[in-house]
Amino acid sequence: MHTNTVTIVAPSSREALRLVREQLGPDAIILSNRATATGTEIVAMVDAADGNAEQPAPSAQASAAAESPAITAADMSSSAPVPQFATATAPVTEPVTEPVPVASMPDHSTQAPVAARMSAVKDSHESVISEIHSMRGMIEEQLAGLVWNDKQRRDPVRGHLLRTLLGAGFSASLAKAMLDHLPTGMNFASGLAWVKAELARNLPLLENEDAMMDSGGVYALMGPTGVGKTTTTAKLAARCVMRFGADKLALLTTDSYRIGAFEQLRIYGRILGVSVHAVKDAADLRLALDDLRDKHMVLIDTVGKSQRDRSVSEQVAMLCGAGRPVKRLLLLNAASHGDTLNEVVHAYKDSAAGNELAGCIFTKTDEATHPGALLDTVIRHRLPVHYVSTGQKVPENLLLADRLQLVDSVFQSASRSALFVPGEADLGELPAALNNDAELAAAAAQVASQAEVAERLRAQCKKLIRVLAHDAEELAINAAALAGGDIGFDAARELWRDLGDERIDSKAVGQKLLMQARAATAGSCVSHILAVSGKADLLASRSGDAYSLQTSLLLSDVDGEPLAAPHQLLSTAGAVEHAGNHIATPALRQIEWLQQQNFDRPLVHLLERPPQMPQMLMWQGHHLSWLARGRGSLRVMDGADGSTTLARLAAQLEFGAPKTIIYKGKTAHQSATETIVRLRIKGNDGAVGTTPALRCVVTRIVDPHNGKQLAQWYLLSNVTGAVSADQLAAWACWKQAVDPFYRFLRQAVQQLGGCTEPGDADMLKRLSVAGQASTTIWRLAHKRAEWAGAARTLLAQLAGHRIRSAAVTAASAAALFEGFGKLIALLQALELDADAVHCAAEVPGLAVLPG
């Protein structure tokens, strides 16, 4: 067998493909393609058996061009017709590689040092890694197209239901989250009935109209322009008049912009016998509502504003400052696109300044073609539906929302001529509903055919990878170094693989994380386990909502190295920490969760600041250990009656001998001293008491070269005296050193698909895996061993980047995460499982891999 490989450069990709076909024939395989200054460069190859495969006779120009490694369009005639080029499906055989100089080849027969081996690997395979990088996009694109067909093959009913939901207007995230819980063994009819029941169960509605009417109050109808606020106000006013009379109702309008707006509402008011008032600003609104206090109910017709109009917040502020509680009802146009509805809810909800929306009213449902977007929006935002408007008639076309009727209407009103929703014929997919055995058999045959194509493409991709990375043992060497480097590589790799396994849910991932955390702390901690709870700020990839990912990070009490991140908690951004101990914040819930777990060593929680007094006393009773930095101005008891500050108290203490530490990446001297303090407590009855005794460790950090003081910390802790003051000071330094970890966590979340909406069933699974992967990448980034540097270089190359310095920046951290995912995928494609990695570790010269 022999292999022909050629590099072709042409002004355009079409011209380059023509030259490839002309030079190598129709069975050519594209290895890489990229844009250059002179045009498009394509590297292609073809395998042929001597005397067995017929190769097209090259033209004179092609023969001459074959003598040069790069062929340009100017070297060959462009008069031939452009063929329809496709990647070959012929099997790729093992190639005979070009001779490699002996000096550049790794010697496996000698006990060479690992660093020398890896240096040789890097030098001899830089071109291989470069080619892998150039082809990764092509492989990913081809494999991504197989996902849908694989799911169809495994569960055709689920695929049919998903297309039905998407065609009705539901978002992909909500549809997928719901179908993840679809019971097995259902056909399409029973599955659709289950979907309808789930939608009805999760649909928030106004449960009791009588209670709403009886309570009365002020209601403002809000929404974008043209949504039907004035007509709906009249309809709702008619319902109120029929219930408790016209003299108990008043109508207000703030719409002074639209011509005839007040006159239209006044006509409705004259018909109903209801007084109508116009207001122009906040002061006018307060006066009008004050005059109408004797009315049982007041309805406000507001001016329509686009959801992107900045004055929406001003309109909401005017209603919130009206002097009386104003309940806001948002009108949603059923004929709007789902993304538009989502924007509207966010605009009118987020501008509320604490005054939440009371609910919503569906309008123009008789004009909607895909009303599923309405239900999707209110389910995700938990926005109760009060009424449904189905036309222009007053008051007949305003109905009380009914769950089953709303859900049924979604699937009954699907348009048969949906021009702007791709149909199954457009996508080349299976029919949405299979109604007889013949159709089922045909669908099964088509799925089987697609499965065969998918398997054949996978096999070709694997062979193509082997062609470019023919020496898979060298990748195993790097994997063995990572596995033996004591950075949690095997655990992170296993979790990373679990992301693609639909049988493993977030609960199973959480249990695995806890088991890995127990194993890691048992092997790396001596007397205590250090726990840090911090957060990474995230933005939802679709809505742009802000969230905080609170993460529990466990550190070694020997060197402060992050060991595990066993628990993730997602909350809305800006969660307020309460002074009392009745409402738990995300950080407090993380601490409570850790205390409930069964670790074999006591936990010490490293806090950013001392806990509030009630929390401190409660933790003291629960034997919860903590260490925190206090301010020098914090007052502590001085004797029986007086008090002083921590700074004044520290000035009277003598410091011990300095010790060498690493502070902010540089060598520094640290000295510490210790005393016992108590904090003053003032009870509700005015009596003054004190907290239990706390250890106060004052640590001073100075520059060893010029003696300049770099920092002075005042540490408070209830940890027993078995831990020395120097050790507590070291723990505080380690806490500060891992604060940038949460930037790594944000990079990991982005690499694994980002933060989506809370309805995404797989989001918690991704966040959990991101936390543990961040500990592995953090440890790899901070390892100074030579094998770690080689591993970082490899991961960066797989990601198409280059790490230029030892310091890990945000960009290089992102490259490490991307390369980590590529490495795992490449190992899996090459079938280098755990057994292969361990076998590679037994190769002579690898037994001395440093930890």
pLDDT digits (tens, 9 = 90+) for 369-409: 888 888 999 898 889 999 998 888 887 778 888 888 888 88
One domain, residues 551 and 598: yes
- Give whole-number Cα distances, 698 to 572, 606, 629, 724, 828, in Å: 36, 16, 10, 12, 52
pLDDT digits (tens, 9 = 90+) for 15-67: 887 888 788 877 677 777 777 767 778 888 775 544 333 444 444 333 333 33
One domain, residues 681 and 748: no
Q: How far apart are CA 794 and CA 831, in angstroms?
A: 19
Q: Cβ distance 672 to 656 under 8 Å?
A: yes
Sign of CA dihedral 118, 121, 126, 128: negative
Distance, CA of 742 to chain centre: 14
pLDDT of residue 438: 56
Range of the domain at 31: 2-97
One domain, residues 669 and 573: no
Q: Cβ distance 743 to 448 under 8 Å?
A: no
Helices (H) and strands (E) in the chain, counts: 30, 25
| CA trace torsion 256, 260, 261, 266 (10° rounding) | 110
- Closest C-alpha to 732, from 705, 764, 701, 773: 701
Q: How far apart are CA 44 and CA 57, in angstroms?
A: 17
Q: Cβ distance 491 to 772 under 8 Å?
A: yes
Q: How far apart are CA 783 and CA 489, in angstroms?
A: 13
- Closest C-alpha to 284, from 273, 275, 292: 292
Q: Which of 401, 417, 437 delimits the end of a domain?
A: 401
Q: Is residue 802 part of a domain?
A: no
Collect contacts of 795-804 with beta carbons under 8 A, ≥24 apart. 795/819, 795/820, 795/822, 795/823, 797/126, 797/129, 797/130, 797/133, 798/129, 798/132, 798/133, 798/136, 798/822, 798/823, 798/826, 799/133, 800/133, 800/136
- Closest C-alpha to 132, from 466, 357, 386: 466
Q: Is residue 690 part of a domain?
A: yes
Tally Cβ neighbours within 10 Å of residue 389. 24
Q: How far apart are CA 254 and CA 284, in angstroms?
A: 10
User: Radius of gyration (Cα) for the chain, nearest Å?
Assistant: 34
Q: Is residue 395 part of a domain?
A: yes
DSSP-derived secondary structure letter, 653: S
Q: Is residue 717 part of a domain?
A: yes
Q: Count the alpha carbons within 13 Å of 424 in the hemisphere toward its beta carbon.
A: 16
Q: Cβ distance 671 to 699 under 8 Å?
A: yes
One domain, residues 654 and 704: yes
DSSP-derived secondary structure letter, 103: G
Q: How far apart are CA 605 and CA 628, in angstroms?
A: 8
pLDDT of residue 243: 86
Beta sheet of 70-72, edge-to-edge order: 29-36, 39-48, 2-10, 70-72
Q: Cβ distance 770 to 755 under 8 Å?
A: no
Q: Is residue 133 part of a domain?
A: no
DSSP-derived secondary structure letter, 493: H
pLDDT of residue 574: 55
- Give whole-number Cα distances, 145 to 87, 150, 151, 384, 428, in Å: 15, 9, 11, 39, 12
Q: How far apart are CA 249 and CA 834, in angstroms?
A: 75
Q: Where are the beta strands (DSSP E) in 208-304?
A: 217-222, 249-253, 275-278, 297-301
CATH number (domain holding residue 279): 3.40.50.300
Q: Cβ distance 364 to 358 under 8 Å?
A: no
One domain, residues 720 and 750: no
DSSP-derived secondary structure letter, 367: G
Q: Count the alpha carbons within 13 Å of 168 in the hemisphere toward its beta carbon.
A: 26
Q: Cβ distance 70 to 8 under 8 Å?
A: yes
Residue with tokens 């995700």: 380
* SS3 assignment, position 689: strand
One domain, residues 745 and 722: no
Residues of the chain with pLDDT under 70: 1-4, 27, 37, 47-154, 256-261, 350-355, 413-451, 453-474, 542-543, 573-585, 638-641, 682-689, 757-761, 803-811, 829-851
pTM greater than 0.75 (yes/no): no
The residues, any chain, with a CB within 8 Å of residue 133's CB and separated by 6 or more, are 797, 798, 799, 800
Q: Is residue 458 part of a domain?
A: no
Q: Is residue 808 part of a domain?
A: no
Q: Which pair of tokens denotes residue 191?
A: 């599955």
One domain, residues 253 and 364: yes
- Give whole-number Cα distances, 41 to 12, 16, 66, 504, in Å: 9, 7, 15, 43
Q: Which pair of tokens denotes residue 708?
A: 């300049």
Q: Cβ distance 276 to 237 under 8 Å?
A: no
pLDDT of residue 478: 77
Q: Cβ distance 204 to 384 under 8 Å?
A: yes
pLDDT of residue 331: 92
Sign of CA dihedral 314, 315, 321, 326: negative
Q: Cβ distance 693 to 675 under 8 Å?
A: no
pLDDT of residue 461: 59
One domain, residues 565 and 651: no
Backbone phi and psi for residue 620, each to the nearest 5 degrees, phi listed first: -60, -40
Q: How far apart are CA 693 and CA 697, in angstroms?
A: 13
DSSP string, 277-295: EE--SHHHHHHHHHHTTT-
Q: Count the alpha carbons within 13 Å of 118 in the hemisphere toward its beta carbon.
A: 23
Beta sheet of 249-253, edge-to-edge order: 275-278, 249-253, 297-301, 217-222, 326-333, 359-363, 385-389, 398-400
Q: What is the tally of structural domains in the chain?
A: 4
One domain, residues 766 and 673: no
For residue 521, the surrounding DSSP H or E stretch is helix 506-524
Q: How far apart are CA 763 and CA 752, in angstroms?
A: 10
One domain, residues 391 and 325: yes
Instruction: Write b or e for each residue in 22-50: b if 16 or more Cβ atoms lie within 10 A of its Cβ, otherwise e.
Output: bbbbebbbbbbbeeeeebbbbbbbbbbee
Q: Which of 333, 368, 401 delimits the end of a domain?
A: 401
pLDDT of residue 759: 59
pLDDT of residue 89: 33
In single-letter form, the type of residue at position 252 comes to L
One domain, residues 304 and 219: yes
pLDDT of residue 110: 38
Q: How far apart are CA 344 and CA 349, in angstroms?
A: 8
Planar angle of CA 398, 401, 405, nearest 5 degrees: 110
Residue with tokens 């000295």: 671
pLDDT of residue 404: 87
Q: Which pair of tokens denotes residue 722?
A: 């078995």
Q: Which of 344, 373, 401 delimits the end of a domain?
A: 401
Q: Where are the beta strands (DSSP E) in 612-665?
A: 625-630, 635-638, 642-645, 659-663
Q: Beta partners for 347? A: none
One domain, residues 375 and 235: yes
Task: Provide the terminal-to-terminal Cα distance of the chain, rounded to the nearest Å.
Answer: 44
Q: How far apart are CA 403 and CA 699, in angstroms?
A: 64
* SS3 assignment, position 433: coil
Cis peptide before 395 (omega within 30 of 0): yes
Q: Cβ distance 513 to 504 under 8 Å?
A: no
Q: Cβ distance 399 to 205 under 8 Å?
A: no
pLDDT of residue 715: 92
Q: Which pair of tokens denotes residue 397?
A: 């076309």
| HEC sequence for 668-683 | EEEEEEEEEECCEEEC
Q: Is residue 27 part of a domain?
A: yes
> Residue length, the chain?
851
